Each structure stands twice: as C-alpha cells, then as structure tokens.
Amino acid sequence: MQNIFAELIGKKLEIDVRQVRAVLDLLADGCTIPFISRYRKEATGGLDEVRIAAIEEQNKKLVEIGKRKQTILSTIEEQGKLTDDLRNRIDQTWDLTELEDIYLPYKPKRRTRAQVAREKGLEPLADFLLDQASKPRSDMPIGAQVGHYVSTEKGVATEEDALAGARDIIAERVSEDQQSRNTVRRNFDFDAVITSKVIKGKEEEGQNFRSYFDFSEKLSRCASHRLLAIRRGEEEGFLRVSISGDDDRCLERLKRQWVRNGSQAGMMVADAVADGFKRLLKPSIETEYAQSSKARADEEAIRIFARNLEQLLMSAPLGQKRILALDPGFRTGCKVVCLDSEGNLLHHDVIYPHPPKSQFVDAMDKMEQLVKKYQIEAISIGNGTASRETEEFVKGLNLINARTGERVSVFVVSEDGASIYSASKVAREEFPDEDVTVRGAVSIGRRLMDPLAELVKIDPNSIGVGQYQKDVNQSELKRSLDQTVENCVNRVGVNVNTASKHLLTYVSGLGPLMAQNIVDYRAKNGAFRTREELKSVPRMGQKAFQQSAGFLRIDGGDNPLDNSAVHPESYWVVEKIARDLGCKVGELIGEKGKALRGRVNVQDYVTDGAVRDGSAGGRVLGLMTLKDIMDELDKPGRDPRQQLEEFSFSKEVKTLEDVREGMELPGIVTNITNFGAFVDIGVHTQGLVHVSEMADRFVKDPNTVLSLHQHIVVRVKEVDLKRGRLSLSMKGLTGR
C-alpha cells in the first residue's frame, strides 16, 4: 500500500516518487519532520520541512480514505449488493468525492419519498419509464403499464399515484448518479456565485458586515478573507448566504443525459429530472461547495497565520542581556521588573510617571536607581495603553549602564498574549508567589531577550497575527501552528541547560514528558556536560536521543561539537577530518579553523554506507550533509534570526487625532494578511496598507514585499476618526 501512496502523493505534489517513498519510510520509522529535513537529506534529496509536512499530510489523508473504503465495503456487503465490479470501482479510486458518489446509492438514509415508492413496488415502473426515455425513438404507450401498479392494498390508489411514485424514484436516482453530480459540479466550478443579503432588521446591529449587505461574486474569485467574513456574518445572524450555479444550464445538460426523445415517458422522466435537481441534487451540491469553499478559505487563512507566526517566532532576539521591563499604564502606574541575563526575576516595583498621579520625579529617580543597581543593559516596554508616553519618558532619562558606560537601549515590544500568559498555568508554575501584573511584565521583558523561548508558552491563537483564526477549522489550525512552532524551535536550536520545559517540549523527539524529565534531571544533577549524558535521562531511549540530540546545544561543555548542529551520529567524520589534518576537533571550529577547513576536500569523506566507524552505523554520508557539517564548523550554533534594531515612532503623533493625510511616518508591520498589512505607527490604532498600496507595481502576495516586524515608512492616505480607521500607503516610499 505504501508504494501506491508514494505514487499518488508524488503525482499530486510533483515530487519524485523515490523521495516520497524515502520520507514515508522515515516517518514510519518514527522520525520527525525537523530531523528528516536536517539530517536525512541524502535519503530525501534535500526536501525541506514544508514539503515533508505536505507528504505526511497527504499520507494521512490517504490512510483515512483507506479506512473509509473498508467501512463502505462492509456496509454494502451487509446489504448483499457488493458485486465484483463495484468492489473494483471502490478499490481503484483514491478520490474521496468520487468514493462518496459511488457509495451514495447504498448509503443508509432516512425514509425518503423514493424509498416509500419502492416499498409500494413501483421501481419496475420507474425502470420502464427510464428505458423508454433513453431510446432515440420510442412512443410506447405507458397507460397499459401503469395500470399494473395500481393497488389500494399497497397504497397506490390511482395511476397518477403510481407515476408520481415512479418519478420520485427517478428523481432520487438522478441525484445519486455520479455522472449527474459531476455535471452539476462542472457547472458550479465555472458559474457558482456566492450571494449575501442582510437579514431585515439587522442593518444597524450588523454594521461590521455592511460591505456584504448586498454582495454577489463568483465563488471561484471570492478571496478567503471575504468568504470567511461572510460566513462569520451568517454565523452571527446578520447575513443570509447562498451559493448557486446556473440552474437552466444544469437542467438542460441533465435532461440531455436522461431523456433522448419527446415521448410521454420522456416527458415524465424530464419532470422527474427537474424535481430531482431542484429538490435533491442542487441542495446537495450547494452544501458540498459551501463546505469545500470554506475548507479552502480555512486552508488559506491557516497558511497565512502559520506564516505570520513563523515570522514572529523567528523575530530578532536581543540575546542574554540584563533587562528592565515596563508594562505601561496611567491610573494603575507602570509595572517594573528587572531580569538577569537568563530571564530570572530580580526585582519588581511600580512607578507613576503619568497622570493622574504624575509622580514624575519619583519615577525618574527609581528608574535611575534600578538601572544602576541591576546593571540594566536594555529596557523593554509593552505596546499597550500609555506605551508612547512611557517610551518618551524613558528615552528622556538618558540612562547609562553602570558596568559598560553605554546608553541603555530602549525597545517597544508587542503585548499580544501577555495577559493570557500571566493568568496561565505556565505562569503560575514559574511565579507562584507573584500576581498577574508582575508575570505580564516579565513576559514583556523576556520577549525582548528571546521571542521564541517566551512565545512558545502562549497559545498561538492569542498572539494576534492571524486572519479570522476563530472561524477556521480549529483542529487543522492547531496542527499547523504546532508544526510551525516545532519547525522554528528546531531551526534555532535549544540550550539544554537553560531552556524551559515548554521550549524543550517542541524539540524534535521529546514532548512534554521527556521535557520535564530533562528539567528534573538538570535540577538534580546540575548542567549537562555532554550530549551523551542525555542518555541518562529517564525514558531517553535511542530513538528519542537520535531525533533530539542534534537540536540540543550544550554551551561550554566537554565536546565543542555539542554546541553545534552537527549530529552526534556524524561526530566520527569530524574526528576523522581532524586526524587527517593532525589537529584537534576544537581547532577546526570557527574563525581560527578557517585555514584548516580550507584544506579539506569534502568529496574524500563521502560514504556509500559501507563505513562503520564509531556511530556512523553504515549510513550514507553525502555531499549535502558534509556541506552542512562544514558550514556548522564555520559558525557553530549560529542563530538564523536577524539582529535586533532599535526603532522610534514619530514624535509628531501620539493619538489618531494627531494624524493628518499626507504625513510620512515610521511604522512597524504587526500583521500580514492576503489583502494587505497592518502597521503600527504609535497611535494605538493599526493602520492598513492595502495590497494595492504596497508598491508602484502589482503585488499579488504581500509577503513578497513585507515581513512581520519590519520597520517601514508609510504615507497617511485617509484618517477615519468616527470608525477609528487608518489607511496607509507605501507607494513611492522605501522602507527603513
């Protein structure tokens, strides 16, 4: 079966079947996507995690279809209707829609009008009418035939009752016929229109959906964000939504399929076809297309959310610095926390630099004391209420780091999800004796140090970089976002001696239980000195070690390779290179080893699997893996994330009322959708740069122009104070 799946997946994804087969074999062997994409490039031909994940997803779908087939075969067999031809048709198809079409006539259903007619013995009459209607020329009178089916005992009082029952049977056959269904589907593919109307009396209450009060668009052209907005309006009771094709064209084609002449029987079959289309087939296909269009919109929205989440998680970290974090506020003051370079809480306080208390001097003195006492290197300010005022206050202090003598850098970070974290079980475990305000401020500070390590503690749904994320398939969303987090964590790598259990959970091959075991082992035995020591952690079997070791870093350990992405199974080749060069492994690493590495011909170390030296295990070691190893020796443990840059909003604007059309202002991209990007210009209202305003050329995908947290310059196009909306443009401007 796996060979069949490999061929089907390869054809669908346009990937060589040998690569697909290799991925399926590795997944079946318990390998994770990050491990396969990083350490099994020779086997997969260098497929990245996105394509490997697509293979895994398609394989799961085929497995589910296989299970569905077995259920269908069993059901039909129990009915005594499973013929060899029918079994063969079911065995041959791997298209779920086609499979359900084949099954439809045999699917147990409620007692229909057609079923009632069959119970009255009218199916032979339906067969007769269909037979006569299907002939090019036929004018056989039906009166004599109908009379045989009149029976008061069976509930058929008149000939018209008999004909009505026969038409019901024909109508159901038309609706369940695979060719008929495909005829209507083809029409819907080209002509289906989605229409929405406001529900009478809901006009005022449903103002958020006023763009869709009288809306109509071809379904094939309806963008995912519009379709999801329409469906939300329907769900909330403001819109009435329908999807329909070209009824006249559908009926014309269906009648050509079922009726070949103008006889009395032909006219009756034509009436039955029209009834079957209107009453059964059309509603069924409308429902099918409503579901499939929603599924496609979900897929697009989830893809956008996952892409934004990836960019957010891969945001530039400041690194291990001593941080003072501020959660701004007016009436309740600004919560202040001081963190050491590992993110541990050293001190917390509250200052009141803003009205109504306006204790400016006291706040200034306290800030200067804290910066000096805790040797603060950077300040992190949440971007919520009073953020701009707090940033202005802090930057006006000219704070100096007591140890380095350098100016303390000031950064504004997103608060999205901080309140969710502060009230979570994770936060309570970390800070059982602190209240939610302290926990929230700590999260703001840690996000500056390492966004990835902090944001993995928060449900991605709460981070605020999605598009209609509450409206999409939640299980698919969770699967996609979890996979995104896992890919990001493993791409960066994790310091096993400092990582929280929440971060360790996402490391390839671990999970919550193993993550907790590592933390417990570390607490009991001290820091890990080697990756090999990980095997002493309870339940760390060979497979878990293989899948996780390459992504776990040990800084300052006994083996310099343990702080790199070189997998322990490949240490032997680095050691062999060192022996051949007459040096130590450590001398090959970094800038000091550049000259030595320059003497290496990696081709000399390619193996075909015959070498069994150390942990090589006979594995093929090709040029792709060897190149990765040499790159890692050049910059061991390198962080793929960019460097963090300071940013300042314009001092001219602090509220929406300060903004004027034509202003050119600095901003930060906070969210990207398929219709544009939202930009923070420091006025507590996110401005929209529509995709048509991103460049002086046509832009199909906003992600080709912008990335999350990018610093840009925008021009104010329109300010709508009444609705609290801000339209921005990037045309003719260059980002910073």
Q: Judge residue 675's burial from the number of C-beta atoms within 10 Å of its C-beta, 0-12 exposed, 13-18 middle, 19 or more buried.
A: middle
Encode pLDDT of 463-516 as tens digits: 777 767 788 888 998 899 999 999 999 999 999 999 999 999 999 999 999 999
Stretch 363-388: mean pLDDT, rounded?
94
* pLDDT category of residue 609 using cuts at 50, 70 and 90: low
Place of tokens 């409308």: 286
> Residue 97: how many CB atoms within 10 A of its CB?
14
Predicted confidence (pLDDT) at residue 194 exceeds the cutoff of 60 = yes
Q: Any idea of the CA torsion for 184, 98, 231, 64, to the nearest 10 degrees?
A: 180
Residue 475's contacts (CB-CB under 8 Å, 6 or more residues apart) are none
Residue 474 has, within 13 A of its CA and on its CB side, a CA count of: 4
* pLDDT category of residue 619 using cuts at 50, 70 and 90: low
Distance, CA of 383 to CA of 402 (rounded, Å):
27
Place of tokens 């990765």: 628
pLDDT value for 616: 43
Place of tokens 């005829």: 183
Predicted confidence (pLDDT) at residue 629 exceeds the cutoff of 60 = yes
Place of tokens 């590992």: 342
Encode pLDDT of 378-433 as tens digits: 999 999 899 999 999 999 998 888 777 888 999 999 888 888 999 999 999 999 99
Q: Judge residue 280's burial from the number of C-beta atoms within 10 Å of its C-beta, 0-12 exposed, 13-18 middle, 19 or more buried.
A: buried
Stretch 449-472: mean pLDDT, rounded?
84
User: Using omega within 30 degrees of 0 as the cis cutoff, is the peptide bond preceding 108 cis?
Assistant: no
Closest CA to 84 of 72, 73, 71, 75: 73
Q: Are 577 and 530 in contact (CB under 8 A)?
A: no
pLDDT value for 734: 59
In which element (H, E) is residue 342 found? none
Amino acid at 49: E
What's CA 242's distance to the chain center, in Å?
Answer: 28
Average pLDDT, the chain: 92
Q: Are 643 and 317 in contact (CB under 8 A)?
A: no
Distance, CA of 292 to CA of 287 (rounded, Å):
9
The DSSP letter of residue 61 is H
For 334, the 3-state DSSP assignment is strand
Per-residue CA distances from 663 to 420, 444, 650, 694 (Å): 35, 30, 10, 16
pTM of the model: 0.86
* pLDDT category of residue 614 using cuts at 50, 70 and 90: very low
List the domains of the chain with CATH numbers. Answer: 2-106 (1.10.10.650), 113-306 (1.10.3500.10), 323-449 (3.30.420.140), 512-634 (1.10.150.310), 656-729 (2.40.50.140)
Place of tokens 């902090």: 454
pLDDT value for 716: 96
Distance, CA of 491 to CA of 298 (rounded, Å):
26
**DSSP letters spanning 462-486:** GSS--SSTTTS-HHHHHHHHHHHHH
| Higher per-residue pLDDT: 406 or 526 | 526
Distance, CA of 426 to CA of 442 (rounded, Å):
13
* pLDDT category of residue 639 using cuts at 50, 70 and 90: confident
* pLDDT category of residue 459 using cuts at 50, 70 and 90: confident
Q: Are 489 and 456 in contact (CB under 8 A)?
A: yes
Encode pLDDT of 304-333 as tens digits: 899 999 999 999 999 999 999 999 999 999
**DSSP letters spanning 578-622:** HHHHTS-GGGGSSGGGHHHHTT--GGGG-B-S----TT-TT--B-
Distance, CA of 621 to CA of 598 (rounded, Å):
20
Per-residue CA distances from 674 to 161, 223, 423, 568, 696 (Å): 56, 9, 32, 42, 18
Encode pLDDT of 35-45 as tens digits: 999 999 999 99
Distance, CA of 234 to CA of 230 (rounded, Å):
6
Predicted confidence (pLDDT) at residue 610 exceeds the cutoff of 80 = no
Which residues is 198 bridged to in the sheet?
239
pLDDT value for 151: 92
Reported for 121-124, long-range contacts at CB under 8 A and 24+ positions apart, including other chains, are 121/149, 121/151, 121/154, 122/149, 122/156, 122/162, 122/165, 122/166, 122/169, 123/169, 124/149
pLDDT value for 447: 94
β-bridge pairing 345-351 and 409-413: unpaired
Distance, CA of 472 to CA of 304 (rounded, Å):
12
Q: If phi over 0 gives left and psi between -120 and 50 gives alpha, with beta otherwise, what is residue 707?
A: beta
pLDDT value for 735: 46
pLDDT value for 139: 73
Q: Are 134 and 258 in contact (CB under 8 A)?
A: yes
Distance, CA of 48 to CA of 33 (rounded, Å):
9
Stretch 605-620: mean pLDDT, rounded?
57
pLDDT value for 464: 72
